[in-house]
Amino acid sequence: MPKEKASLFNRLIITIALLLVFILLSRTPADADMWWHLRSGEEMVTQGEILLEDIFSYTRYGADWVNAFWLSDVLIYLVFKVGEYFALASFVSLMAVATFGIAAKQMRGPAFLRALLLLLAALVAAPIWSPRPQLFSFLFLAILDYWLSTLKKNEKARLWLLIPFFILWANLHGGYVWGILLLIATLAGELINKWMGKEDVLPAKTHKNLLLFTFLAFFAVLLNPSGFELWRLPFHTLDVSLSIQEWQSPNFHQISFHPMLWMLFLLILVLANTGRKLGFSDLFKVLGFTYMTFVSQRNVAPFAIILLPVLSREFSSFWNEEIALRLVQLARGSKASSTPQELPLKLTRFINGILISFILFAAFGNLYFLTRPEKVDALYPRAAVQWIEENQPEGALLNSYNWGGYLIWNLREYPVFIDGRADLYGAEMIDQWKQVTKGGEAAQQILDEWDVNLILLEPGWAVGNELSEQGWELLYEDDISVVYGR
């Protein structure tokens, strides 16, 4: 195949892979936390100021809120304002293409192998890919990892860019911590690489300057509306995270988390069958993000982003050393009966364009169906919310934890008891909500303490079996929700 056609074919394969990533990570915009992010962005746009106090609940109203995502909330709301659910879902998919497209710039090997690994990485990230500010952290992590990979060949790299980069990151999402850890892993790994006498290491001057600007980036994070409180946020969140599903370890009984194991085992298989030794900077990155993912499933997308380039480079060596040679031998041993006819270059480009256009049409058609309002509301108490709006029952509302954000967006007249901002509510309020749902004497005491006269929960909670005995009346019921009042 002529060089120009081979290059065209390779670009086609990667383009198709990224379009399939777009489809794989297309989502119905119905994440439990998405709603309060939208409302937060709306409030900041309309009020013209950053929200740093709670205004959505009655249990924490007026309390200081470390708004680590104020800028991304504004951006997400503006996207929603342009085209509502369809625009939001398109944004989520395009962020996936941008993130994995940047990671792909580090990849090596035949195009079809890179394409398969891209799709595997997308499957790994899929369980937590949703319309939330963390998408910005995924993108920034891919950018930082790619930029660090260029430093060995770019002695004039503008390392000072780390300062504005982390200032921006810290105002978009608390995932800047991933970036700091990546810098530390790189610095430590390159130091050991040099000590072990490896040849491909960062120049001493670059390493020294990178250490300096990593230190400065650490403090640059403080340039945010909450100041030092933003640095405390990850540690405070850990204190209340054990009861929240996304902070728990991956449940490998769920098939959605199996691709993470496939990716990890594939890297182990490749490393065991190639003559290359993994550099310590790559090793520390892989071990660090693998460790964090086994501790908390919310790290599974960063795991995929970091492992993808490393796996690609090592798989490329394995392919060249072990598989490609055997394929060449097999090809030489077989006799082709005829010489394949090649299409003209212009016709090839035309066919490629038609193929890509067809996939794009399918991708956005799929988004259209995923973003129908009935799809978005399917897991939420839309009918119960309409009943409350029509009947306007009086009193403070106790709501399901998973529905707090939805109510903040859709039932604005009723402040919530709790929502997904675990760092704001803390262990105390989360424990109180749990005690209520379990029922018993403690539940009634908490309901009385907060003067709750209205309850909106999923059917099946233990407290629901006791409410009628405590003077509560079942006001509304359907397959998704129940409403009690007193």
Residues 135 and 267 in one domain: yes
Assess contact for 419 and 405: CB atoms under 8 A. yes
Angstrom distance (rounded) from CA 243 to CA 245 = 6
In a domain, 219, yes or no: yes
In a domain, 73, yes or no: yes
Assess contact for 205 and 171: CB atoms under 8 A. no
The tokens of 365 are what?
A: 């058609």
Residues 185 and 273 in one domain: yes
Report pLDDT for 439.
87
Read off the pTM: 0.91
The angle formed by the CA atoms of residues 109, 114 and 116, to the nearest 5 degrees, is 140
pLDDT tens digits for 196-250?
888 788 888 899 999 999 999 999 999 999 988 888 877 666 566 556 677 788 9
In a domain, 232, yes or no: yes
What's the distance, CA 471 to chain centroid?
44
Q: Give the type of residue at 85.
A: Y
Phi and psi at 477, nearest 5°, equal: -155, 135
Angstrom distance (rounded) from CA 97 to CA 6 = 23
Last residue of a domain, one of 271, 299, 331: 331
For the chain, which ranges sit under pLDDT 50? none
Residues 212 and 287 in one domain: yes
pLDDT tens digits for 403-421?
999 999 999 999 999 999 9
In a domain, 312, yes or no: yes
Assess contact for 425 and 60: CB atoms under 8 A. yes
Residues 265 and 145 in one domain: yes
Residues 458 and 394 in one domain: yes
Angstrom distance (rounded) from CA 90 to CA 22 = 9
In a domain, 369, yes or no: no
Report pLDDT for 268.
92
The tokens of 97 are what?
A: 């293409």
Report pLDDT for 242.
57
Residues 294 and 406 in one domain: no
Assess contact for 280 and 189: CB atoms under 8 A. yes
Last residue of a domain, one of 308, 331, 354: 331
State the residue range of the domain holding 407.
380-485
Report how many domains make up the chain. 2
In a domain, 439, yes or no: yes
Other Cβ atoms within 10 Å of 72 Cβ, number: 21
Report pLDDT for 352.
75
Report pLDDT for 240.
62
Phi and psi at 112, nearest 5°, equal: -70, -30
Residues 296 and 420 in one domain: no
Residues 389 and 316 in one domain: no
pLDDT tens digits for 144-171?
999 999 998 877 789 999 999 999 999 9
Angstrom distance (rounded) from CA 406 to CA 39 = 10
Last residue of a domain, one of 331, 363, 391: 331
Whose structure tokens read 């939330």?
132
In a domain, 431, yes or no: yes
Nearest C-alpha neighbor of 260 from the set 268, 250, 270: 250
Residues 427 and 327 in one domain: no
Residues 160 and 90 in one domain: yes
Half-sphere exposure of 300 (CA within 13 A, CB side): 30
Residues 178 and 243 in one domain: yes
Angstrom distance (rounded) from CA 279 to CA 286 = 11
Residues 405 and 278 in one domain: no
Whose structure tokens read 């390392």?
159
In a domain, 155, yes or no: yes
**How many helices (H) and strands (E) in the chain?**
20, 4
